[in-house]
Amino acid sequence: MDLSLGNLEAASGLPDIEKAAQRLARAVKENENIAVAGDFDADGATASVLCVSFLKSLGATRVSWHIPDRVRFGYGLSPGFCREILDLEPNVIVTVDQGVSSVDGVALAAADGVDVIVTDHHLPPDTLPAAYAIVNPAMKESSFRGKLAGVGVAFYLMGVVWRTLQRDGFFAGVSRSSPDIRDWLDLVALGTVADLVPLDRNNRILIRQGLERIRSGRGNVGISALAQAARRPLDTLRAEDLGFVIAPRVNAAGRIASMRAGVECLLSQDRKQARARAARLNELNVKRRSLQDDMLATAGDLVSACDRAADAHCLYHTSFNEGVVGLVAGRAKDALEVPVAVFADSQPLSLGEVKGSLRSVEGVHIRDVLAEIDAEYPNLIQRFGGHAMAAGLTLRKGSLNRFQTILESGVGERLKNARPRGICRSDGDLPAAELTYENARLIEEFGPWGQDFEEPLFHGRFEVVHAATMGPRRQHTRMTLVKDNRNVEAIAFNSPPPDTPRVTLTYRLRVKRLQGQESAQLLVRDVQPEGTGLIT
pLDDT digits (tens, 9 = 90+) for 127-170: 999 999 999 999 999 999 999 999 999 999 999 999 999 999 99
Tell me: domain 7-207, CATH 3.90.1150.200, correct?
Answer: no
Stretch(es) of the chain classified as CATH 3.10.310.30 = 306-415
CA dist., res. 107 & res. 92, Å (int): 13
State yes or no: pLDDT of 536 exceeds 50: no
Mean pLDDT across 456-485: 93
Kindly report the CA angle at 362 between 396 and 326, in degrees rounded to 5? 40
pLDDT in tens, 27-54: 999 999 999 999 999 999 999 999 999 9
CATH architecture of 306-415: Roll (3.10)
pLDDT band at 475 (very low <50, low <70, confident <90, very high): confident
Are the CB atoms for 340 and 329 separated by under 8 Å?
A: yes
Please give, one letter per residue, the 3-state secondary structure of 244-280: HHHHHHHHHHHHHCCCHHHHHHHCCCCHHHHHHHHHH
- % residues pLDDT > 70 (the chain): 97
Measured CA to CA, the distance from residue 421 to residue 362 in angstroms comes to 11
Peptide bond into 420 cis (omega under 30): no
CA torsion, ordered 135, 139, 144, 145, to nearest 10 deg:
140
Secondary structure of residue 357 in the 3-state scheme: strand
Asked whether the CA dihedral 232, 234, 237, 240 is positive or negative, the reply is positive
CATH level 3 topology of 432-529: OB fold (Dihydrolipoamide Acetyltransferase, E2P) (2.40.50)
Give pLDDT tens digits for 435-460: 999 999 999 999 999 888 999 999 99
Number of neighbours of residue 421 by Cβ within 10 angstroms: 11
Contact 165, 133 (CB under 8 A): no
Residue spans in the chain of domains classed CATH 2.40.50.460: 432-529
- CATH 3.90.1640.30 residue spans of the chain: 7-207
C-beta neighbour count of 218 within 10 angstroms = 12
Q: Which is nearest to 357 in space by CA: 428, 448, 255, 478? A: 255
The DSSP annotation for 169-211 comes to TTTSSSS-PPP-GGGGHHHHHHHHHHTT----HHHHHHHHHHH
Distance CA 382, CA 384 (A): 7
H or E element in which residue 16 lies: none
Residue 11: pLDDT band by 50, 70, 90 thresholds? Answer: very high
pLDDT value at residue 533 = 54
Q: What is the pTM of this model?
A: 0.89
d(CA 411, CA 402): 14
